Chain A
Amino acid sequence: MSFYDICQRYKDFDLERVFNSVSSNSVKAAFERDILDLKRFIFLLSPEAENNLESMAQKAQVITRRNFGKSMQLYTPLYLSNYCENSCSYCGFNLNNKIERKKLSLDEVQKEAQLISASGLKHILILTGESRGKSPVSYIRDCVSILKKRFSSIAIEVYPLTEDEYAVLVLAGADGLTIYQETYDERLYAKLHLCGPKKDYRFRLDAPERGAKAGMRSISIGALLGLGDWRREAFFLGLHAKYLQDNFPDIEIGVSVPRIQPQTGDFKAARQVSDKNITQIILALRIFLPRLSIALSTRESPGFREALIPLGVTKISAGSVTSVGGHAIYAKPRQEALQFQIQDQRSVNEIKIMLEKKGYQPVFKDWLDF
């Protein structure tokens, strides 16, 4: 039994019909409850709930304050390698894209780490393209060991691994796993991932569970919104997060709600996802799962990020660079070498000042290696 089996149960469920039959009263009754079941989570994602966003926001803010206080966790991504064996049409690292391919040497990782840690950050997210050949587990492990000397929390966002491989990284000092399913729609997934190791839908879908069993302390999942119907994706994302919370109660479960941004290649989002849609998803998730961590990346604009901060977000990235070696090694990355375009280019210090002005404590460190 894994989340794949749960997904199968809902695969042919006519969610659209349910979304469109939700009444105003059922939306109101749903968010007035302390504990919501799955049916009521669907109500909050419905078109009808769009008329109640203000009330949902009020509720979400109270829940977030109570659970996470007036504080915001900060982190930054560090790209180790952009070699990739997949041809995902929506991603800048797609193997068919003619970009310069790089992989940081361990010395370069050291330099990047030094520069990032000078900003005071203690939480880092390391990323690679999906290439077992170019960035094998042993390489990721060595990078984790180097970073462990400067950072108190290291999360990995790499290709899906086996449980034993995750355990190797946990032993080296990784404590967090981030892996996005991109789309929970298995048929659409097959269309978007025609070749490469990523075409194995199930191996990716069950990766968070393998990471949990291997000893990861926090797990973050997500769907790349815009590939399929966003309401459906948000439903499965909530279902997945709840499944992980129920089955791994001692692990911090988090989500991210990235939407497609322009990147190298000519992929156009199949479905536009508006600011209002993203807001509704965050509010619905917060009310459905009060203890869920919600991260917001620099894919979003400064203004939109700031507006979302009080509504349910608990982690934001700062000083982000989405190219390999972009912090210290290669001063000005070329646009085509980015995994995606950054909308919020503010430095760690600028984000810190912004948070303080808004009455939030920027949290640089909230973990320790014990």
Chain B
Amino acid sequence: MTDFLEIAGKKISNRLFIGTGKFASYPIMKQALEAAETEVATVALRRVDADLKDKNIIEYIPKPCQVMINTSGARNAEEAVRIARLAKAAGAGNWIKIEVIRDNKYLLPDNLETLKAVEILVKENFIVFPYMCPDLSIGRRMAQAGASAVMPLGSPIGSNRGIKTRELIEIMINEINVPIIVDAGLGKPSQACECMELGSAAVLVNTAIAVADDPVKMAKAFSTAVCAGRLAYLSGIPVTSKFANASSPLTGFLGGKK
């Protein structure tokens, strides 16, 4: 299969990205990442403890996996930029999920501060993935500023409500010329599949996998669903209709007659 998502020279065949918070242990997290064969995993820098060689979360990310550091904890652009720079200095690479949250109740991102951080970090050669509330204008600005992808939320983090922002995300997929990756709120594989059928370039899932009774199986289930959704999208999903459409057309007898 030659269907790759290409970002910053990296060819990604598995379009399920996985977040690494909330797991019961690092070994379980590692097994889940392996079962899903995920190629991109996000890690919060605030959780990385370089002092603990055997318990450092980075050690549990399977080797072929691209680490994407998220700026969890940042309340404005300046803090997000500082976290990104710290991550780079610590050798965690330059793939950054920009997460700027000023709302601890719903954990909804601040689009304006996120956009500012995109503008700064792109100039510093980071590969940036802004997490944002779905909005066409802001998404366009992020893309124009050089974001490698834009990551609108399906519903609030951890809510398991699915793609409640579907209408807005569909518009973004149609109009913005960088990959759209649905991030947050996906509670079950069918919802991830729905995103992929819509044309989302990838999805990012964390809570639904991490807190499942069997996170390893759930990771596999999400991975399979993402693959199915992508295949369906590529196959050309038929338009839905409220009326029946006969398989044998009534005017077939006319053939090619003029």
Give A residues with C-beta under 8 Å from B. 65-71, 120, 122, 152, 217, 245, 249-253, 291, 356, 359-361, 363-368, 370
Contact B211 A70 (CB under 8 A): yes
CA distance A7 to B45 in the complex (A): 39
- B22 pairs with A249, CB closer than 8 A: no
**What distance in Å separates the Cβ of A117 from its nearest Cβ neighbour in chain B?**
8
A70: chain B residues at CB < 8 Å are 22-24, 210-211
Given contacts A66-B211, A69-B207, A368-B86, contact A359 B104 (CB under 8 A): no
* Given contacts A69-B207, A250-B103, A122 and B49 within 8 Å (CB-CB): yes
Of all A-B residue pairs in the complex, the 9 with the closest CB atoms, nearest first, are A69-B22, A70-B24, A250-B102, A365-B49, A370-B82, A249-B103, A359-B24, A368-B46, A65-B211
Any A CB within 8 A of the CB of B47: yes
How many Å from the CB of B216 to the closest CB on chain A? 14
Counting CB contacts under 8 A, is B63 at the interface? Answer: no
Q: Which residue of A lies closest to B80 (CB)?
A: A370
On chain A, the residues within 8 Å of B21 by CB distance are: 69, 71
Write out the residue numbers on chain B whose beta carbons fall within 8 Å of the beta carbon of A367.
46, 73
Within 8 Å of chain A (Cβ to Cβ): is B174? no
Residues of B11-55 contacting chain A, CB below 8 A: 21-26, 44-49, 51-52, 55
Q: Identify the interface centre among B21, B24, B74, B79: most chain A CB within 10 Å of its CB.
A: B24
Contact A361 B24 (CB under 8 A): yes
Size bracket, chain B contacts: 20 to 34
**Contact at B207–A66, with CB atoms within 8 Å?**
yes
B206 — nearest CB in chain A belongs to which residue?
Answer: A69
Rounded to whole angstroms, the CA-CA distance of A67 and B107 in the bound complex is: 10
Assuming the A-B contacts A66-B158, A370-B86, are A356 and B47 also in contact, with contact meaning beta carbons closer than 8 angstroms in the complex?
A: no
Any A CB within 8 A of the CB of B160: yes
Interface residues in chain B, defined as those with a beta carbon under 8 Å from any beta carbon in chain A: 21-26, 44-49, 51-52, 55, 73-75, 79, 82-83, 86, 101-105, 107, 158-160, 207, 210-211
Contact check: which of A67, A71, A364 meets B52 at CB < 8 Å? A364
In the complex, A62→B49 CA distance in Å? 29
A368 lies within 8 A of B211 (CB): no
Give A108 Cβ to nearest chain B Cβ, in Å.
23
Secondary structure class of chain A's binding surface, majority of residues: loop
When distances are taken between beta carbons in the complex, the residues of chain B under 8 Å from A65 are 211
List the B side residues contacting A69 at CB < 8 Å: 21-23, 207, 210-211
Minimum CB–CB distance from A72 to chain B (whole Å) comes to: 10
CA distance A353 to B193 in the complex (A): 38
Q: What are 7 A-to-B residue pairs whose CB atoms are below 8 Å? A: A70-B210, A71-B22, A71-B24, A120-B52, A120-B55, A217-B73, A368-B86
Find chain B residues with CB under 8 A from A71 CB: 21-24
Contact A365 B47 (CB under 8 A): yes
- Check A291 against B46 for contact (C-beta < 8 Å): no
Give the shortest distance, in Å, between B47 (CB) and chain A (any CB): 6
Chain B residue numbers with a CB within 8 Å of A356 are 25
Asked whether, in the complex, the Cβ of B104 is within 8 Å of the Cβ of A66, the reply is no
- Pick the contact of A249 from B44, B49, B73, B102 — CB < 8 Å? B102
Inter-chain contact B46/A365, CB cutoff 8 Å: yes
Is the pair B23, A361 in contact by a Cβ cutoff of 8 Å? yes
When C-beta atoms are compared, the residue in chain A nearest to B211 turns out to be A65
- Complex Cα spacing A130 to B173, Å: 59
Distance (Å) between the CB of B69 and the closest chain A CB?
11
Chain A residues, CB < 8 A from B45: 368
- Report if A364-B158 is in contact (Cβ < 8 Å); known contacts: A70-B24, A250-B75, A359-B24: no
B160 engages A366 (CB within 8 Å): no
Q: Chain A residues near B22 (CB, 8 Å)? A: 68-71
Q: Are B159 and A366 in contact (CB under 8 A)?
A: no
Task: Among A152, A251, A364, point to the contact of B104 (Cβ < 8 A).
Answer: A251
Please indicate the chain B residues that have their CB under 8 angstroms from the CB of A250 in the complex.
75, 101-104
Tell me whether A66 and B49 are in contact (CB under 8 A).
no
| B24 lies within 8 A of A360 (CB) | yes
**In angstroms, how far is the closest chain B Cβ from the Cβ of A253?**
7
Looking across the interface, which residue of chain A has its beta carbon closest to that of B85? A370
- Complex Cα gap A146–B101 (Å): 30
Knowing A66-B211, A249-B102, say if A364 contacts B49 (CB, 8 Å).
Answer: yes
**Inter-chain pairs besides A65-B211, A69-B210, 10 sampled, C-beta below 8 Å:** A66-B158, A71-B23, A120-B51, A120-B52, A245-B105, A249-B103, A361-B23, A368-B45, A368-B46, A370-B73
Contact B104 A370 (CB under 8 A): no
CB-contact partner of B47 in A67, A245, A359, A366, under 8 A: A366
